Amino acid sequence: MSFEWPWQYNFPPFFTLQPNVDTRQKQLAAWCSLTLSYCRHRKLYTLDVMEAQESPVFNNKKIERKLSVEAIQVVFEELRKKGNLEWMDKNKTRCLIMWRRPEEWGKLIYQWVSRNGMVNSVFTLYELSNGDDTESEEFHGLEEWMLLRSLQALQTEGKAEIISMDDGKGVKFF
Amino acid sequence: MDRFVWSNGLLEMNETLVIQQRGVRLYDGDEKAKLDVGVVLLSTHRLIWRDMKNHECCIAILLSQIIFFEEQAAGIGKSAKIVIHLHPVSPNKEPGPYQHSKYSYIKLSFKEHGQIEFYRRLTEEMTQKRWERTPVSQPMSTTTGPQAGRTRAVGIVGIERKLEEKRKETDKNISEAFEDLSKLMEKAKEMVELSRSIASKIKEKQGDITEDETIRFKSYLLSMGIANPVTRETHGSGTHYHMQLAKQLGDMLLAPLEERGGMMALTEVYCLVNRARGMELLSPEDLVNACKMFESLKLPLRLRVFDSGVMVVQLQSHSEEEMIASALDNVSEKGSLTSEEFAKLLGLSVLLAKERLLLAEKMGHLCRDDSVEGLRFYPNLF
């Protein structure tokens, strides 16, 4: 399945940070959604600002435009404000990208659990992300830190409890 | 060199020393004269050269012998020179250091500089021709009395008197210099009137003649003159002056503004106004101050300052919405535009074209693409 680029992607001004406040807001919104949908498509969980500049998202070779590092940081900062991104270091060179926020993931997992009537059962984290049962689910292959966060989110809602097991962590759903 | 005569080095009765300069070598034409380096003195009547060490060796030439003179700039290892071209030798000339010379010009080579001031003073003397008014041969003169002062007053009073005389003389020189200028200005006024009458004639005939570009251009040029420019002299200084100036600007700028699509950069206005005023030039500051008065005087013009600091004069009727709309139309039509392209399209200056695009961007109608190829504006599709 090939990624479908939004119309803005071939619009040269999209790659220049707009000085007009209103225009910029719309532009940033478009960037945020493009970044997230691209990461979701490629199942990316971490991004490096320098590497990102070379990736097709921020570098449109066809129209010979690329977003500057400064502008990328502005976009990332915008994503952070929306809760879709977390910086991994102080210098803001690497970041975790959450194209689904932990709560959303938690919801998906819980839906799957209740659909299959497995409330009150205990799972290992590996089972959830890599087990045969979840193969057709979206959260299959979810990175462990992300999975843990989603479960933590569920835990605060009282829908799950994370338990420590001998060789890792497990979770019980309520 | 053969024009020089031996001299005793003393000034005559009515002769005054103007300037002297050390370290000057004489050249007979292009060749170095067989004289050492010396002092050159310029008096109201003569050019005198005296040997630095041997004060007995002193030669002079009458200023009236000079046809013209010119400067010769210094080069590497070469001092600056003044070339003086001289009239042919008069047959009854007194003896001098040279009996004969193949050159009709001499050069003063300034080893210790000072040529600029010397050249200036020489020019002054040559234009004033003071030797004609008070010939040296005339023993007593009542008009100027350096020698009277010399005989009557000694000490501080004498010095004071001398200074006073000098001051009077400079005053006279200055006013003489300005006399010419005011005459020129009177002429300029006549010229403006003439140009006006021609302009009106052309205008009258414009119905018969086809819309010929050259005629339009001519009438435009000629209509630029201002017969009675508002000046500080006529209207004093301060606010009143600026008000009057603003009114005059309002009259004269209407036509050019309409022709340029209702807007002109202040620099352009400045050039136009000063060309029209001819002699009575305006300072940029006065122009800005006058332009600031447009609004309070309810004139149909406005001074507008863009965010970038660029100042323009525009017609009041010149609406911003229209301007933005036209910018948007143009950009939409072409897909995208740089300010240069837009300027060409509208026949505006690039600066103003850019301001318009920026304004449209500010209002959210356009957006920009800032790439290595330059700044382009696109319709705002966001």
CATH number at residue B52: 2.30.29.30
Which residues of chain B are within 8 Å of residue A7 when distances are taken between CB atoms? 381
Kindly report the nearest CA distance between residue B253 and chain A, in angstroms. Answer: 34
- Binary contact (A65, B364; C-beta < 8 A): no
Question: Does a structural domain hold residue A1?
Answer: no
Structural domain total, chain B: 4
Most confident option among A47-56, B221-230, B234-243: A47-56
Range(s) of the domain holding residue B55: 5-134
Kindly report the nearest CA distance between residue B369 and chain A, in angstroms. Answer: 4
A101 membership: H or E segment, kind and range: none
Which residues of chain B are within 8 Å of residue A30 when distances are taken between CB atoms? 382
Domain final position from B223, B244, B260: B223
* Per-residue pLDDT at B148: 43
Whether B14 and B125 share a structural domain = yes
Kindly report the nearest CA distance between residue A32 and chain B, in angstroms. Answer: 14
Compute the count of residue pairs across chains A and B with CB atoms less than 8 Å apart. Answer: 45
Whether A74 and A133 share a structural domain = no
Whether B305 and B343 share a structural domain = no
Kindly report the nearest CA distance between residue A21 and chain B, in angstroms. Answer: 9
* Per-residue pLDDT at A86: 84
Question: Does a structural domain hold residue A138?
Answer: yes
Whether A44 and A118 share a structural domain = no
Question: Does a structural domain hold residue A2?
Answer: no
Domain final position from A97, A120, A148: A97
Whether B179 and B96 share a structural domain = no
Interface check A8 vs B, CB under 8 A: yes
Which residues of chain A are within 8 Å of residue B368 when distances are taken between CB atoms? 13, 16, 18-19
* Per-residue pLDDT at B166: 92
A91: CATH: 1.10.10.570
Residue A122 DSSP symbol: E
- Residue B143 and residue B158: Cα distance in Å, rounded? 17
Domain final position from B256, B287, B309: B309
Question: Does a structural domain hold residue A34?
Answer: yes
Interface check A33 vs B, CB under 8 A: no
Whether A90 and A149 share a structural domain = no
Does residue A134 carry a pLDDT above 80? no
Mean pLDDT of chain A: 84
Question: Does a structural domain hold residue B156?
Answer: no
Q: Which residue has the higher pLDDT, B222 or B159?
A: B159
Whether B37 and B106 share a structural domain = yes
Whether A87 and A108 share a structural domain = no
Interface check A69 vs B, CB under 8 A: no
Whether A36 and A85 share a structural domain = yes
Decide: B42 and B121 in contact? Cβ < 8 Å: yes
Which residues of chain B are within 8 Å of residue A27 when distances are taken between CB atoms? 367, 382
Whether B36 and B92 share a structural domain = yes
Find which of A15, A22, A23, A34 to mutate to test the B interface (most B CBs within 10 Å of its CB).
Answer: A23
* Per-residue pLDDT at B228: 61
Whether A74 and A91 share a structural domain = yes
Question: Does a structural domain hold residue A153?
Answer: yes
Predicted confidence (pLDDT) per residue in A53-62, tens digit = 888 888 888 8
Domain final position from B309, B342, B373: B309
Whether A65 and A80 share a structural domain = yes
Range(s) of the domain holding residue A74: 7-97
Decide: B268 and B282 in contact? Cβ < 8 Å: no
| The two three-digit tokens of residue B378, written as one number | 């696109």
Question: Does a structural domain hold residue B252?
Answer: yes
Structural domain total, chain A: 2
Domain final position from A65, A97, A129: A97
* Per-residue pLDDT at B165: 92
Which residues of chain A are within 8 Å of residue B369 when distances are taken between CB atoms? 12-13, 15-16, 65
| Of A98, A145, A105, residue with least CA distance to A125 | A145
| The two three-digit tokens of residue B65, written as one number | 């012998």
Whether A137 and A78 share a structural domain = no
Whether A93 and A44 share a structural domain = yes
Which residue on chain B is closest to A12 by alpha carbon? B369
Pairing mode, strands B5-6 and B58-62: antiparallel
Kindly report the nearest CA distance between residue B367 and chain A, in angstroms. Answer: 6
Question: Does a structural domain hold residue B148?
Answer: no
Interface check A59 vs B, CB under 8 A: no
Find which of A9, A14, A16, A32 to mutate to test the B interface (most B CBs within 10 Å of its CB).
Answer: A16
- Residue A119 and residue A112: Cα distance in Å, rounded? 10
Express as a percent the part of chain A with pLDDT over 90. Answer: 1
Buried/exposed code over A117-129 (b: 16+ C-beta within 10 A; e: otherwise): eeeeeebbbeebb
Predicted confidence (pLDDT) per residue in B123-138, tens digit = 888 888 888 877 655 4
Whether B193 and B252 share a structural domain = no
Whether B122 and B27 share a structural domain = yes
Whether B129 and B30 share a structural domain = yes
* Per-residue pLDDT at B236: 65
Q: Alpha helices, DSSP H only, in A66-143?
A: 69-82, 102-115, 125-130
A141: CATH: 1.10.10.10
Interface check B361 vs A, CB under 8 A: yes
Question: Does a structural domain hold residue A78?
Answer: yes
Closest Cβ–Cβ partner in B362, B364, B378 for A13: B378
Whether B288 and B362 share a structural domain = no
| The two three-digit tokens of residue B370, written as one number | 């800032």
* Per-residue pLDDT at B209: 47
Most confident option among A40-44, A58-62, B73-77, B199-203: A58-62
Decide: B369 and A12 in contact? Cβ < 8 Å: yes
B264: CATH: 1.10.10.10
* Per-residue pLDDT at B235: 66
Kindly report the nearest CA distance between residue A23 and chain B, in angstroms. Answer: 6
* Per-residue pLDDT at B143: 41
Whether B231 and B219 share a structural domain = no
Whether B180 and B107 share a structural domain = no
Question: Does a structural domain hold residue B245?
Answer: yes
Decide: B104 and B82 in contact? Cβ < 8 Å: no
Question: Does a structural domain hold residue B347?
Answer: yes
- The SS3 assignment for A50 reads helix
Question: Does a structural domain hold residue B146?
Answer: no
Interface check B364 vs A, CB under 8 A: yes
Question: Does a structural domain hold residue B158?
Answer: no
Whether A93 and A128 share a structural domain = no
Q: What angle do CA B325, B331, B337 make, to 5 degrees?
A: 135
- Binary contact (B382, A64; C-beta < 8 A): no
Burial bucket for residue B362 (CB in 10 Å: 0-12, 13-18, 19+): middle
pLDDT-derived band at B158 (thresholds 50, 70, 90) equals confident
Whether A47 and A120 share a structural domain = no
The ipTM assigned to this model is 0.71
Which residues of chain B are within 8 Å of residue A20 when distances are taken between CB atoms? 361-362, 364, 367, 380
Question: Does a structural domain hold residue A22?
Answer: yes
Whether A93 and A113 share a structural domain = no
| Of A58, A12, A6, residue with least CA distance to B378 | A12
Decide: A168 and A117 in contact? Cβ < 8 Å: no
Interface check B362 vs A, CB under 8 A: yes
Lowest mean pLDDT among A39-48, A76-85, B74-83, B138-147: B138-147
Predicted confidence (pLDDT) per residue in A6-54, tens digit = 888 888 888 888 888 888 999 899 989 888 888 888 888 888 888 888 8
Predicted confidence (pLDDT) per residue in B301-327, tens digit = 888 888 888 888 888 776 677 778 888
Find which of A9, A14, A15, A18 to mutate to test the B interface (most B CBs within 10 Å of its CB).
Answer: A18
Does residue B144 carry a pLDDT above 60? no
Decide: B16 and B125 in contact? Cβ < 8 Å: no
Which residue on chain B is closest to A13 by alpha carbon? B369
- Residue A121 and residue A117: Cα distance in Å, rounded? 9
Interface check B367 vs A, CB under 8 A: yes
Which residues of chain B are within 8 Å of residue A19 when distances are taken between CB atoms? 361, 368
DSSP-derived secondary structure for B116-147: HHHHHHHHHHHHH-HHHHS-TT----SS--HH
Whether B233 and B218 share a structural domain = no
In angstroms, what is the C-alpha Rg of chain B? 33
Instruction: Count how many residues are written for chain A.
Output: 174
Question: Does a structural domain hold residue B41?
Answer: yes
Averaged pLDDT, B178-205: 72
